[in-house]
Chain A
Amino acid sequence: MAGRRERKTFTEKNLLIILVVMWVFLAIATGGNFSSWANITNLIRQSSINGVVAIGMTLIIITGGIDLSVGSIVGLSGMVFAIFTSTRGEFQFPTIVGILLALGISALIGLINAVAVHDGKVPAFIATLGMMTLVRGVVMYISGGRMVTAVPLEYRRFAVLEFLGIPALAWSWIILAAFMMLVLKYTKFGRNLYAIGSNEEAARLSGINIRLNMYSFYIVAALFSGIAGLMLGTRMAAGVPTGGSGYELDAIASVVIGGASLSGGVGTVLGTALGALIIQTIRNGGNLLGVDPFIMQMVIGAIIILAVFFDQFVKNRRKGEGRKRLFKRA
């Protein structure tokens, strides 16, 4: 039996090569500014919040769905925390209670998404699009559209904490990503995710409880957004009503660049993490090189399209099939 284990990590390997090439190029082009330890840790910290949201998005995209509500959940979570813990507010709960409340409410939104998608048979795109608008409305309403400041000190401090020279925010991402990588690979929860994503009927006939699993996936995804919301909150030292807007797009882009397939069944947390780093590298590097931010936006857009195109191209070549699959979407 030929050991062709590397086959599975095909996309990851390519992404890693792309990332390294970009870093080497930028290190040279910026005369070492890019490769300074300060900039590298900064880059990882900048990627971390999107990176955490994207972990959750990976799960949903593997199910064959999509979650547009993640950005609003980021905003909601940070705002809920701020309102309940602000030392100038009416509750003034301890930090830990604030965290539990923020995550609990995020999980609830995830559950509602899951019910709409699984039981209500509303297409994920529509259900979470509605939820995105709805939740943002809630954030605006409870905050009156204003920032909520005076969050607890230890919460604000978290953003500047470092361990081994790496920011705590970056650690949060690294640990969560590593944990989810193991969960997806080594637990039945993870295996069920891929089974349901690649063939729901076959999964059902394999004795997998689809409803329970779908609920868990959406709840877990929302929890990751909730955590990201708290991470954002510590950085802003406040609850920001517009916090997290547009994050869904970066998250989707990271997942897609990371090699996941929008038709489900394919995708990895590692790929997504590399995808998130690639996006941030372009932003960060472009910045250092003084590239017009609007041009950078165009570049990122083009890269998303190219990533999917390249992936499909390689797959088709491998299968020896025509190009028609590019456009096939169930």
Chain B
Amino acid sequence: MPEEKTVIELEGINKTFPAVKALDNVSLSVKSGEVRGLVGENGAGKSTLIKIITGAYTKDSGTMIFEGNEITRNSPLISKALGIYAVYQDVMVTPDLSVAENFFLGQQPKIGPFINWKKMYKESREFLENIGLDIDVRKSIKELSIAESEMITISKALWQKPRLVIFDEPTAVLTRNETKILFQIIDELKNQGTAVIYISHNLEEVFDICDTVTVLKDGATVGTYTTQELENVEKLIPLMVGRSIEEMYSKKDTEPGKELLRVENLSGERFENISFHVRAGEVVGFFGLVGAGRTEIARALFGADFLKEGKISVEGKDVSIKTPKDALMKGIGYLPEDRRKQGIFLQQDIDFNINIINFDKVMAGPIINYGKAHSQARDYIDKLSIKIGSIFQPVSELSGGNQQKVIIARWLCKNTDVLIFDEPTVGIDVGTKSEIYKLFGEILSSNKGIILISSYLPELMGMSDRIYVISNGRMAGEVDKKDFSEEFLLTLAMKNIVSREKVKEAV
């Protein structure tokens, strides 16, 4: 273990945005070789703190000392030169460059005036192989999946040999295997004596990987604890949300009612022969490994993607769904998985983002009644405890998790007969998670049905009445609540995956 000296020290940091005080006298210090968790509710100020460290935001007051020197002027360039590397929540890599170029950005190896491509490809490939990633370094970033491009950003942390690495919710889009690689990278960084700050809403993960945890609440530090003294997640939650959560998954067992939706032999680009049904008052879970085709099935059912064949009936009547509009008219809603790309209207205000599909309820003839529109938006903002300044604030000013909540509010307000939630709780704090599950109960008691797509098994098993398991684009089984178990579901999920390599990759 290298000598443990303090790498970064923040003292009395304050930051106020026009609408909120984001950081209130926050202090934090991280030693070399230490992995520090940073947790707190959505909008607690985690990302803001990170951006102050990297110089993306300027602090209003307070001091920052990095490796013994006070940093008075900061900017992303300065902090990079100092050896601070950050993986932001909203990942942005240079999309047109190749993977290899992304590693060598600004310092390409050259022969005379020419770039030495061969060397660049070779070195970056070897580097990726070493950490267990199989990604073609010639591909441009935009050809990669979100998870792959996130892994590139993450592995650059090791490549650049920084003094301090910050991860802001890195695992939200990663598969289990990729998360494992991430943890190996963090271990490696730790051994090299790098200080690490790790932000996540997945508290189990925080306990797995962090030595110490700092809790932020409403912009102020609640305290810093070692994971040993905290012992477990249950002790951490009250510090974050100010109360303990008795029962996370508050799903009551109910008698399912009439059949709302039946789907037979659905086939599309990446799935075939999918049949299932949803009854009133029921949460139907969809499990599968990342890439199994669950999102594709949901999108095709919702009319967002092309459907090769299949029969869809709503309340016993056959329907044809060609566009999302058709689906909505038939009472089917879909909360998309990639909410930044497919959900949010970034330049518009919060009110707009919630109401855009809900104006129907507040029309006076052809005219929108904004009084009613605002009040229905406020209603859901309260229910989901979305942290905002005002509903006329651009949604881009909200914290990452609060942006997610705005889109969830949009769909909860729409309240379709069957609502498909695709990974609804990624990036959302524990307190709100349990609120969302409670709202599920409200939806169900009004005789509606929910389809829950999730890769997080505790959530899926806690909330579903039945789970369909999709494996490699095909239905691998339907599991009743009494038979739920992690092993069983995982085995089913791997049923149609032939090669062992694939299994390893997907898990």
Contacts and interface: CB of A to CB of B under 8 A. Distances in A.
Given A2-B19, A5-B392, A188-B359, A198 B346 contact: yes
Contacts of B366: 187-188
B342 A202 contact: yes
B502 interface: no
Interface in A192-249: 194-195, 198-199, 201-209
Contact of B368 (A7, A188, A318): A188
A47 to B, nearest CB: 28
Contacts of B304: 204-205
A180 to B, nearest CB: 14
Interface in A1-30: 1-5, 7-8
A167 B115 CA distance: 67
A322 B356 contact: no
Given A2-B19, A7-B393, A8-B392, A207 B348 contact: no
Given A8-B349, A321-B56, A205 B342 contact: yes
Given A188-B368, A191-B356, A199 B334 contact: no
A327 interface: no
A5 B359 CA distance: 20
Interface residues of A, number: 33
A164 to B, nearest CB: 27
B357 A198 contact: no
Nearest to A265: B347
B177 interface: no
A191 B392 contact: no
B392 A199 contact: no
Interface stretch (B248-256, B322-330, B437-445): B322-330
A144 interface: no
Interface in A169-205: 185-188, 191, 194-195, 198-199, 201-205
B325 A194 contact: no
A210 B3 CA distance: 61
Nearest to B18: A4
A320 B58 contact: yes
Contacts of B352: 191, 194-195
**Interface residue range, chain B:** 35 or more
Given A5-B390, A7-B392, A320-B56, A201 B345 contact: no
A15 B76 CA distance: 33
B324 to A, nearest CB: 5
A272 interface: no
Given A4-B19, A204-B304, A320-B57, A265 B328 contact: no
A322 B348 CA distance: 21
A209 B325 contact: yes
Contacts of A191: 352, 355-356, 359, 368
Interface in B313-371: 323-325, 327-329, 334, 336, 341-349, 352, 355-357, 359, 363, 366-368, 370
Contacts of B393: 4, 7
Interface string B278-311: 0000000000000000000000001010000000
Given A4-B389, A4-B393, A205-B336, A199 B345 contact: yes
Contact of A201 (B56, B328, B341): B341
A317 to B, nearest CB: 10
A23 B392 CA distance: 32
B328 A322 contact: no
A319 B346 CA distance: 13
A261 interface: yes
A209 B341 CA distance: 18
A261 B356 CA distance: 21
Contact of A199 (B57, B344, B368, B390): B344
A193 B19 CA distance: 27
Q: Tell me which of A185, A202, A265, A321 has the highest count of chain B C-beta atoms within 10 A of its own C-beta.
A: A202
A266 interface: yes
A243 B324 CA distance: 44
A186 B368 CA distance: 5
Given A201-B342, A209-B323, A320-B58, A4 B336 contact: no
Given A188-B368, A195-B356, A322-B76, A266 B324 contact: no
Contact of B348 (A5, A186, A194, A261): A194
B296 to A, nearest CB: 14
29 contacts: A2-B389, A2-B390, A7-B390, A8-B349, A186-B368, A187-B366, A188-B363, A191-B355, A194-B345, A194-B347, A194-B348, A198-B345, A199-B341, A199-B342, A201-B341, A202-B343, A202-B344, A202-B345, A203-B345, A205-B304, A206-B357, A206-B410, A209-B323, A266-B347, A319-B396, A320-B51, A321-B56, A322-B56, A322-B76
Given A195-B345, A265-B348, 7 more contacts: A1-B388, A1-B390, A7-B393, A188-B368, A199-B341, A207-B327, A261-B347
The 10 closest A-B CB pairs, nearest first, are A207-B328, A265-B347, A207-B325, A198-B345, A320-B57, A206-B357, A198-B347, A4-B390, A207-B324, A186-B367
